[in-house]
Structure 1
Amino acid sequence: MSRLMGNFAYFFILAGVHCVQQIQWLPCQFTDEQVTKNEEGHFDTQLIHRQAMLQFGQKGDAPLNPHTITFLITGSKLDLRRYVEQVEAEQLECELRRYSTEGIHVHWPGQEAKEYNRWFTCTLKHNQGLFTVTGFLRHPSDHAPPGQQDFRRWPAISDTEKLTTAVAMVIKTQRPSVKARLGSQQKLHCQFSVDHRGANVTVEWHRQHHGERTKLFSHTSRTKLVQGSGVELKALAGGDASYTLPFTKVKSDGAYICSVLVNPLFGSVDINLHIEEPPRVSLNVGPTLVLQEGSEQKVICEAENYYPLDVDIVWYEQDPNTSGQRVGLPLPKVLPNILLSSHKHNQDMTYSVSAFFYLQASTRHSEREYICSVSHQSLRMPIKKRFILKVEEPFSWMFFLIVSFIILVLLAVLVVMLCYLNSGE
């Protein structure tokens, strides 16, 4: 029995290792930079897209593809693959870039005394927008950085070069894009990790909307200085920098930036919060509208309290002779000459609008179904409100007077005859 349990534990451990290390390499785009000075003395940056490979292994490993640039990520306390677990390699988009420290040289824990660092960023994105992960790759070098404007004199990288690196810092968000309704509580996810303890970490949150940037929160681990609110400090100590919005409003819409500074590294992730409030749709008539032939009725379809602004309202009519058919059912006919009211800007910053038409009652239109369809980006399917028109024949007052007159004459004759008969007795 003990041997069976031991074998089970062994295979369980193997399965776990395979799960974590299932991605051995990734094809990446290396966005290189070439800086030149133009005739006016200004510097122009040309982006050069080069093919590269992100390879996971140990120091000294040979490139899996010797004909391309290889970024070999060796073991450290941070394994970039742990941040993309349960995802197939085909679902990842990988981009590598150089990173400028602007001349700041900091002795990173774990590096040799006379060693310098060249820095790169590796950004992994899910192709369906489920997460974004950025890792800072440290490449040891014997050459000192070229100064504050190091981006002007990047060391050349050949097409077959292998760069041995280690992950120094990671920042991630699980939800780069968030849709929220008004009045909801939203937690904007942001987490980070550093490959050593005791780092002086500064975490900030900003909101950017229509060109205005507002600081929401700031915390520095060494000084314990806190500005703003929305981040749990206890969770922050463990690398969870998520920001909580307790009650969303229309003005909550915008881009939220979570940034982490560990000198000389500065990383950030953007979370786009989209406020979407679905419209409330109503008609000014009931499920059945009864009219007399020749009369006119203003029929209004109102969409209220939606956000953002764009909404589409279409009126349809359906012939009663085809409404019960299932095979070959013709599409409802779009009503022409629909009028729209001006948009109403409500106190809560939402919008309202109505679409209406004047219905001329005719017996040939009786039993027709009228449908108001409202589409908005917050809706998966349009909201539809409908009613059935019933048209009655007009009531004739002349016919009523003639019939009443005849009845009165007959009653008068009857009274006279009764009186005559009574007098004869």
Structure 2
Amino acid sequence: MFWTFDGLLLALLCLGVNGSQSLYDLQWLSCRFVDEKVHINKEDHIETEYITRAAVLQFGKVGDRSSHPTITTFLVTASKVDMRRYLEGAEDKLQCEIHRYSTGRIKTRWPTAGAQDHDVWFTSTIRHSEGLFVTKTFLRHTTVAPVAPDEEQMDFLQWETINDGDLLTMSAAMVFLSKTPSVDVGLFKEPDLDCRFAVDHALPHATVEWKLQQHGRRTDLFSYSSRTGKTEGNGVALKAIAAGNVSYKLRSTSTHSEGTYICSVMVPPLNGSHDIPLRISEQPHVSINVGSTLSMKLGEVQMLKCDAERYYPLDVDIKWYRETPDGSPTPPLKVRHSSHERHRDGTHSVSAFFYLKPSMEESGYKYTCSVSHKSLLSPIYKSFTLRVTDPDSTLWYIAKIGFIISMVVIICYMRPQYLGTKSGKKVRMKVGIEE
């Protein structure tokens, strides 16, 4: 036997993300049903008409009545794969969409009790609106078929009409789950691309594949067949496959790692897949070429430069602003930009600079460089405060202070001599009297 499910599903797939609680007791979920009417036109081409209507996923048992009788109801009955086990978070964060599913020319009967050759398939995709997870469940519906289906004709040309208020009883046959619906990661990281699945029976045959879609090309990354045991590529732990975990681990991300990673598992006649877009983003290192305070003399010119270095992807927005001492903002300054520098690791650097020749009125102004980039939730700010002095007034104060110091020195030097002279005259006068 290749898979066992009861305790395994509960242990691996029913755990909440970040400790959140599963919605195992959910009774029903509002959905959008995207129906398809397919026919062959006069030119012998296939045409499809899409009809979107409100629908409900209802959980119960065979024979239950619809809780919403005026809209299409998909009644999901008990099976070894309960899709509610994989739903987490608040119910109002769940986005549900139901589609028909064509098995194409694969005529394999699903290997569970009660399955028929004329079974009709649907998929229910449920996403968490904040990107917590995405699930895709294959729902098997056994129709009452008074006439055997035409084996030579495609199944989508034989689909029965579904109307508002119809109730379709079905069971979950296969579930796909990813807790990384999309990935944003920096350079030189090793992220795990989460992909798991489960079916409602012991599984002897399955094919697992990972591909990378980039610029219209698909690259094979990994493949495994349980029928032959043959493996090509790496990135998936073979021991984990037996537990339904086919997650892929990247090695040291680079700018070449960007693209859409496609996880697929084929269990005939079903082929489930998840597209996981991966984007590389590296935050810029921002600096300015002066400290927190810049002192300048009136008439001087200073180049002010703001550097944004080692960021990815390319687009970055650098602006210089200034504020008056009372905090009043002014329009962005007119600046020049250097040409972009591309580094060997694929990151970029650029500078925004301007030349400042301040007036006395600008003393106390605050100058700020703002850098915005896709990798940042909010811009990075670097600032300095300007102090401006008048060189003429400075020289006047220096000359004045120098004059005062000189006068003090002269006075201090002359005073002892003056006092000494007066003292000598008094002595001579006294000597003259005595004589």
State if a TM-score over 0.5 links the two structures: yes
Match of 1:156 among 158, 161, 181: 161
Partner of 1:136: 138
Task: Report the 3-state secondary structure (helix = DSSP H, G, I; strand = E; otherwise coil) of the residue aligned with 1:141.
Answer: coil
Structure 2 distance, partners of 1:366, 1:160, is: 75
Q: Show the counterpart of 1:303.
A: 308
Amino acid at match of 1:302: D
CA separation in 2, counterparts of 1:113 and 1:131?
30
Residue aligning to 1:422 = none
Q: What SS does structure 1 have at the residue aligned with 2:163? A: coil
Instruction: Tell me the equivalent position of 1:247.
Output: 252
CA contact (8 A) 1:102 1:148 kept: no
Q: Which residue of 2 aligns with 1:89?
A: 91
Q: How far is 1:148 from its partner? A: 5.0
The 2-side partners of 1:83 and 1:56 are apart by 14
Q: 1:305 to 1:21 in 2, by over 3 A?
A: closer
Give 1:158 shift.
Answer: 3.1
Which runs of structure 2 are paired with 1:197-346 in the superposition (5 Å)? 197-320=202-325, 322=326, 329-330=327-328, 332-346=329-343
1:108 alignment partner, SS class: coil
User: Distance between the aligned counterparts of 2:203 and 2:46, measured in 1?
Assistant: 39
- Bigger Rg, which one: 2
Change in CA separation of 1:196 and 1:31 when aligned onto 2, cut-off 3 Å: same
Q: Describe the superposition over 1:335-376 as per-residue Cα deviations: whole angstroms up to 9, x where unpaired.
A: 432112222222111111111111003222223221111111
1:325 matched residue in structure 2:
none
**Cα distance 1:108–1:366, how it changes in 2: closer, same or farther (>3 A)?**
same
Which residue does 2:364 correspond to in 1? 367
Q: Which residue does 1:388 correspond to in 2? A: 385
Q: Would the alpha carbon gap of residues 306 and 57 (structure 1) be closer, same or farther in structure 2, given more than 3 Å must change?
A: same
Runs of 4+ in structure 1 deviating by more than 6 angstroms, as ranges, are 395-401
Flag the 1:113–1:187 CA change in 2: closer, same or farther, 3 A: closer
Aligned amino acid, residue 81 of structure 2: L
- Paired with 1:113 and 1:42, the residues of 2 have a C-alpha distance of 32
Pair 1:116-2:113 in alignment: no
Amino acid at match of 2:135: V
> Helix, strand or coil: the match of 2:92?
helix
CA contact (8 A) 2:176 2:196 kept: yes
Structure 1 spans left out of the alignment, 5+ residues: 1-17, 323-328, 415-425
- 1:364 alignment partner, SS class: helix
* 3-state SS of paired residue (2:119): strand
Structure 2 gap ranges (5+): 1-20, 414-435
Q: Within 2, Cα distance between the matches of 1:393 and 1:95?
A: 71
**In the alignment, is the contact (CA less than 8 A) between 1:176 and 1:271 conserved in 2?**
yes
Out of 56, 60, 69, which is 2:72 matched to?
A: 69
Report if the CA contact (8 A) 1:285-1:299 is conserved.
Answer: yes
Partner of 2:9: none
* Alignment-mate amino acid for residue 293 of structure 1: L
Normalised TM-score (structure 2) = 0.81
Aligned to 1:58: 61
Following the alignment from structure 1 to structure 2, what is the Cα–Cα distance between the partners of residues 120 and 286? 64
Shift of 1:243: 0.8
* SS in structure 2 of the partner of residue 241 of structure 1: coil
Deviation of 1:137 (Å): 0.7
1:184 aligned partner, one-letter code: K
Work out the CA distance in 1 between the residues paired with 2:332 and 2:107. 70
TM-score, normalised by the number of residues in structure 1: 0.83
CA offsets 1:198-248 (integer angstroms, 9 cap, x no match): 331111111112222111111111211111111111111101111111311
Counterparts of 1:100 and 1:177, CA distance in 2: 26
Matched AA of 1:193: A
Map Cα deviations across residues 250-293 of structure 1 (whole Å, 9 max, x no partner): 11122111111001100111212121111001112222223221
CA positional deviation for 1:115? 5.1
Q: Please, what is the CA RMSD of the aligned residues?
A: 2.8
Confirm whether residue 348 of structure 1 aligns to residue 351 of structure 2: no
TM-superposed CA distance for 1:142, in Å, is 5.1
Work out the percentage of aligned pairs sharing the same amino acid: 47
Separation (CA, whole Å) in 1 of partners of 2:386 and 2:332:
15
Q: Following the alignment from structure 1 to structure 2, what is the Cα–Cα distance between the partners of residues 113 and 97?
A: 20
Measure the CA separation in 1 of the matches of 2:392 and 2:23: 82
Moved more, 383-392 or 38-47: 38-47
The equivalent position to 2:45 in structure 1, one of 33, 36, 42, is: 42
Q: 1:51 to 1:366 in 2, by over 3 A?
A: closer
Residue deviations 1:125-148 (CA, integer Å, cap 9, x gap): 112222110010111235444445
Q: Distance in 2 between matches of 1:48 and 1:357?
A: 58
Q: 1:284 to 1:311 in 2, by over 3 A?
A: same
Could you tell me which of 13, 24, 29 is aligned with 2:27? 24
- Per-residue CA deviation, residues 171-198 of structure 1 (Å, 9 max, x unaligned), is 0111212211111221111110011113
The separation in 2 between residues aligned to 1:114 and 1:304, in whole angstroms, is 62
Distance 1:199 1:123 in 2: 26
Pick closer, same or farther for the CA change 1:26–1:113 going to 2, 3 Å: closer
> What letter matches 2:111 in structure 1?
P
In the alignment, is the contact (CA less than 8 A) between 1:315 and 1:334 conserved in 2?
no
